[in-house]
Amino acid sequence: MDFREKRHDFTLNISEQVIAQIAQLVVSDVEGVAQVVEPPKSFRRWLLPKTTHQLVQITPLSDSVEISIFVLLHNGYRIKEVAEQVQNCVKQAVQDLTGNTVSKVNVSIQGIAA
């Protein structure tokens, strides 16, 4: 599904894949994040109705988008602080670059990188 924005004389279509790529790029720059990883197999069944692009799940809602991302952290970083930073950075980047409202950014910490 593409996100459409109608203005006076044009329509802008933004692919879910573009939103997912923006989120993934932003997360890789957050201090403390080792890498973005695939969701666990048990989550994949639960996420089937959602659209999966690479390692980021995008859920289109009526007037916004919900983003789910799974990450590994570097040792020595506070989990809560890194997760909040991921949420803030993803939300800000997607909203700034696409104009779409982000209703929620779900961050799942899958472990600590060795």
CATH at residue 6:
3.30.70.1350
* Bridge pairing between strands 2-6 and 51-53: unpaired
Q: Residue 76, class by beta-carbon neighbours within 10 Å (0-12 exposed, 13-18 middle, 19+ buried)?
A: exposed
What is the mean pLDDT of the segment spanning 3-27? 81
| pLDDT of 42 over the 70 cut | no
What is the torsion angle, in degrees rounded to the nearest 10, for the CA atoms of residue 33, residue 36, residue 40 and residue 41?
Answer: -170
The pLDDT > 70 percentage for the chain reads 81
In which domain, by residue range, is 102 found?
2-112
Q: Determine the Cα–Cα distance for residues 92 and 71; give it in Å rounded to an integer.
A: 18
The answer to whether residue 52 scores a pLDDT higher than 90 is no
User: Stretch 67-90: mean pLDDT, rounded?
Assistant: 97
Q: How many domains, in total, are found in the chain?
A: 1
- Statement: the pTM of the whole predicted model exceeds 0.85: no
